[in-house]
Amino acid sequence: MEGDTITDLCTPALVVDVDIVKRNAQRMTERFLKMGVQLRPHMKTHKTLECADIMTGGSRRCIVVSTLAEASFYADHGFDDILYAYSVPFDKVERSAALSERLTLFQVLLDHPDALEQLRKRPLRDRRPWHVWLKLDCGNGRAGILHSEPEAMQLAQAISETEGVELTGVYAHCGNTYNCRGIEEIQAVAQETTTFVLQFMDKLKAVGISCKSSIGSTPSCSHPVKDMACLSEVHPGNYVFYDVQQSVIGSCSLEDVAVRVLTRVIGHCPHRNQLLIDCGWTGISLDGAGKLPTGYAMIEGQPNLKLVSMTQEHGRVEPISDMLDHSKYPLGSLLTLIPYHSCATASMHPVYHIHSGGRLVGKWLPARGW
């Protein structure tokens, strides 16, 4: 209940420090306001109305989503100017069309001529155009058409020339910043991605095509390079929560991480030199295996403890060195896990417990599904 402390919660429980969330959001907003670049925050990390309001300053405009479930969720609650930044799946064209016909501005993304053909075959009512962003691969190696291939320009031209379709922008995710360690490496990737996108924009301009440009990732937007001021938009998302991974990369400090998973000791296993906790891989992400000396997460205030393995509802904790003094961790005692990946961890929880200074102030209910 509101006013209770987070230690009163049943575990495992995802807790969010709303003061840190607001601070992270304000810093990102101010950073790009000074650069004169539109911030289009990504909702994929939290998928909640309350956090979206914080990230958009209450405007409920100009957001990115990764699923149509998110898009519908936000549309149902008064959000508009939504970009569905996922290479448009053919089985979801009709749902995308419904949102395009319902909202003032719903935008889709594609990276293949066949996707363009799917949109052409499904014209929107009232002569509305499909608003389309072209997804470029500028080194991330995931979705997107390679920026340097002639087919990229050909597809951009085809989008701009197709009846009922409008080329709204060019979009690149510099997710290769997640391989970086330190600000210098982050900024090198951000610079490369920005340069490739701006070069592509110059090619478009040369053939008379004008549209927006956007790059994004939390590391690159936490430490932007000067040339990013030449972009139309940026689209980071994880920054509102951050996580251990972002601190390892160099995007933030641990003090900027807003989320924790609370868990309790439920077993002593002296024959294995281990504790058993009530958080398994349904409560915190397996992402991070082998990447931290503390195992799958950091255990706050316990630098010598390691979350070594998990089953569905159980976790095994052991000391990094020496023998475990089980008397320090009586059954029922609380441990606090700082997740390696907050997006993956948050996706496992149907409710986020929101606190300020350790006192509960509310609950956020995230959208789920695809």
Q: Distance (Å, rounded) from C-alpha 125 to C-alpha 77?
A: 23
Question: Structurally, how many domains does the chain consist of?
Answer: 2
Residues 224 and 317 in one domain: no
Q: Please check whether residue 19 lies inside any domain of the structure.
A: no
Two tokens, residue 200? 């592509």
Q: Please provide the average confidence, as pLDDT, over all residues in the chain.
A: 97
| Whole-number pLDDT of residue 349 | 98
> Do residues 200 and 152 lie in contact, with contact meaning Cβ atoms separated by under 8 Å?
yes
At residue 3 the predicted structure's pLDDT band, cuts being 50, 70 and 90, is confident
Whether residue 214 sits in one domain with residue 108: yes
> Taking 80 as the threshold, does the pLDDT of residue 21 lie above it?
yes
Q: What is the pLDDT of residue 263?
A: 98
The CATH number given to whatever domain includes residue 320 is: 2.40.37.20
Q: Indicate if the pLDDT at residue 131 is higher than 80.
A: yes
Average pLDDT over residues 136-158: 97
Q: Which residue, 47, 74, 49, is CA-closest to 349? A: 47
**Whether 307 and 228 share a structural domain:** no
Q: Does the structure show a pLDDT above 80 at 178? A: yes
Residues 232 and 258 both lie in one domain: no
Per DSSP, helices labelled H in 162-280 are: 183-206, 218-222, 244-249
**For residue 358, pLDDT beyond 80:** yes
Arithmetic mean of pLDDT, 228-235: 98
Q: Tell me the per-residue pLDDT of 260-305, one tens digit each, with 9 for 90 and over.
A: 999 999 999 999 999 999 999 999 999 888 899 999 999 999 999 9
Taking the model in full, what pTM does it have? 0.97
The per-residue pLDDT for range 187-216, each reduced to its tens digit, is 999 999 999 999 999 999 999 999 999 999
pLDDT at position 203 is: 98
Distance CA 353, CA 280 (A): 19
